[in-house]
Amino acid sequence: MIPLSVPFLNGKEWEYVKDCLDTGWISSAGSYVNQFEQQVAVYAGAKYGIACMNGTVGLHIAQILSGVTSDDHVIAPNITFIATLNAIKYTGASPILIDVDPQNWQMDLNLLDKYLKENVVRKNINGEINAFHKVTNKRIKAIMPVHVLGNIGDMNYLQEIADLYHLDIIEDSTEALGSLFQGKHAGSFGKFGVFSFNGNKIISTGGGGVIVTNDEELAKKAKHLTTQAKVSTMEYIHDEIGYNYRLVNVLAAIGVAQMEEFPLLLDNKKRMDQYYRSNLEGVGDIEFQFVSSDVDANCWLFTFKTRHMKGLLEYLNGNGVQSRPFWVPMNQLEMFKNDIYITKLNNSNNIYKTCISIPSSAGITQAEMETVVKTIKAFYALL
């Protein structure tokens, strides 16, 4: 089976992990953690990086430090992996789900803009201006753009909206390490950006995440909160409810090795994307995700639209080509079905019903890509 997206471990992963084992530094302290944090922050063009167990907990911490509470709303796209929404719900806040653009599959900012104009009032409470929803009376505290599949929406427009309504931007950049918008790295636009290093990401630590920010105070607080909020190195004094969300040294060691290999892996992904685009163009009714000329995408997971998604999915998986459908839209899941969902044409549902992801590992070979394309063409030839 040609796998969907598996790690590529051809660098110094063994050497660095062995170093952890040889020295006994396998757990929550150790130099690889700091090194990994810095590598990711520098790469993303942010001042500070805070390693954590995974992207989901990183998003949770970012919500807490943005001051999101159970009385608030947080804006998020309706097409995302569930972790984005879970992180909002951990704080008790209520999501406002925004349908996505039918071309680039990112949050539809025109729809959001119009919705906020009609449904929000700004209030000055104790010198702090915030946007409040006219019907629920809840404060809208933050917006979470998700850089779906490593593509990026119009960050200038998003920033304009966030400024106008005093929203904190928390970027779910979990899929977007290596993606740029107008030359600026994903994750560096907002108050926080969060990256994931789980097994299917462009680089992996097995499981892991890094929160990035340019704010020193917030960076310190993020480190504090992810490490049980301990204030003294000696005594067990903790000054708030913290979390054991730290990334262990042995996983950070893998991360350091992976970051060293990252430029190569990113190149491979881009080559893969070009190969698929040029060889699948015009095949059946295949439609690609639109990537604007402002975006230099990391081409994380090759996904396209076809009305024959279900049949193709079955055919590929039955013929040695692992493929997957796209996420069920958030508004269709039981836990979120009573949350606000803003849409005109329900593009989310169309994307869900038609999108399919095909093998996209950074280490995919030319022969494997040829097999994938040949198998897809064979399917359409049967129709």
Ligand X SMILES: Cc1ncc(COP(=O)(O)O)c(C=O)c1O
How far apart are CB 175 and ligand X at their closest, in Å? Answer: 5
Helix (H, G, I), strand (E, B) or coil at 177: coil
Residue 139: count of CB within 10 angstroms of its CB: 22
Instruction: State which residue, 158 or 280, has the beta carbon closest to ligand X.
Output: 158
Q: Does 80 bind ligand X (CB under 6 A)?
A: yes
Q: Does 359 bind ligand X (CB under 6 A)?
A: no
Tell me the C-alpha distance between 109 and 104, whole Å. Answer: 12
Beta pairing class for 184-185 and 303-305: unpaired
Beta pairing class for 94-98 and 72-77: parallel
Binder among 174, 348, 354, 375 for ligand X (CB under 6 A): 174
Binder among 25, 36, 43, 81 for ligand X (CB under 6 A): 81
Q: Does 55 bind ligand X (CB under 6 A)?
A: yes
Binder among 196, 213, 331, 361 for ligand X (CB under 6 A): 196
Tell me the C-alpha distance between 99 and 97, whole Å. Answer: 7
Using the structure block, give the residue that is written with the tokens 């994938």: 372
Binder among 61, 142, 146, 225 for ligand X (CB under 6 A): 146
How far apart are CB 229 and ligand X at their closest, in Å? Answer: 21
Which span sits near ligand X by CB under 6 A: 52-60, 124-132, 229-237, 302-310?
52-60
How far apart are CB 71 and ligand X at their closest, in Å? Answer: 24
Binder among 150, 178, 193, 209 for ligand X (CB under 6 A): 209
Q: Does 63 bind ligand X (CB under 6 A)?
A: no
Report which of 249, 220, 179 is spatially closest to residue 24, judged by C-alpha positions.
Answer: 249
> In this structure, what is the dihedral angle of CA atoms 258, 327, 1, 206, given to the nearest 10 degrees?
30
Instruction: State which residue, 25 or 49, has the beta carbon closest to ligand X.
Output: 49
Query: φ, ψ for residue 123 (rounded to 5)?
Result: -130, 145
Q: Does 153 bind ligand X (CB under 6 A)?
A: no
Instruction: State which residue, 79 or 373, has the beta carbon closest to ligand X.
Output: 79
Q: Does 172 bind ligand X (CB under 6 A)?
A: yes
Dihedral sign (CA 226, 232, 234, 240) = negative
The structure tokens listed for 288 are 């690609």
How far apart are CB 345 and ligand X at their closest, in Å? Answer: 23
- Residue number of the CB closest to ligand X reads 55
Helix (H, G, I), strand (E, B) or coil at 316: helix
Q: Would you say 187 and 46 are in contact if contact means Cβ atoms under 8 Å apart?
A: yes
Binder among 5, 35, 39, 54 for ligand X (CB under 6 A): 54
- The widest CA-to-CA distance across the chain, in whole angstroms, is 70
**Which DSSP state fits 150?**
G
Residue 307: count of CB within 10 angstroms of its CB: 14
Tell me the C-alpha distance between 41 and 48, whole Å. Answer: 6
Instruction: State which residue, 63 or 375, has the beta carbon closest to ligand X.
Output: 63
How far apart are CB 252 and ligand X at their closest, in Å? Answer: 14
**Residues 232-291 contacting ligand X, CB under 6 A:** none
Residue 263: count of CB within 10 angstroms of its CB: 11
Tell me the C-alpha distance between 150 and 180, whole Å. Answer: 9
Binder among 198, 214, 346, 349 for ligand X (CB under 6 A): 198
Helix (H, G, I), strand (E, B) or coil at 376: helix
Which span sits near ligand X by CB under 6 A: 54-62, 108-116, 305-313, 353-361?
54-62
What DSSP element (H or E) covers 341? strand 340-342
Q: Does 348 bind ligand X (CB under 6 A)?
A: no
Q: Does 171 bind ligand X (CB under 6 A)?
A: no
Instruction: State which residue, 81 or 326, has the beta carbon closest to ligand X.
Output: 81
> Applying CB under 6 A, which residues contact ligand X?
54-56, 80-81, 83-84, 146, 172, 174-175, 196, 198, 209
